[in-house]
Amino acid sequence: MKKLLIIDDEQDYLNSLAVSLRKKFDVVLATNYTTALQELSKGVNIALIDIRLEKNNPNNIDGLKILEWIKMNKPEISAFIMSSYTEFSYAEQALNLGAKHFFKKPIDITSLAAILLEKG
């Protein structure tokens, strides 16, 4: 079973994704940049990353920084980005940094699982 790291600062959303995906993946969770890098260093196959990890800080784009870290340090990890924000520049930047897919929140769980299994 592939190990999936889900990174999001919204604990309720994080937990609902984890519950929904646990049947298909070994799920690990992180709510911030530091914890995410620790989990990525331990070894995961797939990362599902929210772009903004502090919703009260509009300048926070730690998800893109995590994506850059993966590309430079662990390129074998399949990375996926999610966001409730509609700024196209973030989606474009994420895809340019190597994200395999961009998900708009709220995410349809059936589609999410299918795409993670196919592209992860």
| Residue pLDDT, tens place only, 67-117 | 999 999 999 999 999 998 777 788 888 999 999 999 999 999 999 999 999
Q: What percent of the chain has pLDDT over 70?
A: 98
How many domains are contained in the chain?
1
**Lowest-confidence range among 10-14, 18-22, 84-88?**
84-88
CA distances from 37 to 46, 47, 52, 117 (A): 13, 11, 15, 23
Structure confidence at residue 55 as a pLDDT band (50, 70, 90): confident
The full DSSP string for 24-76 is TSEEEEESSHHHHHHHHHH--SEEEEES-S-TT-TT--HHHHHHHHHHHH-TT
pLDDT score, position 91: 85
Domain containing residue 27:
3-119
For the domain that residue 16 is a member of, what is the CATH number? 3.40.50.2300
Look at residue 57 and tell me whether its pLDDT is greater than 90: no
pLDDT score, position 32: 93
Residue 79: Cβ within 10 Å count = 27
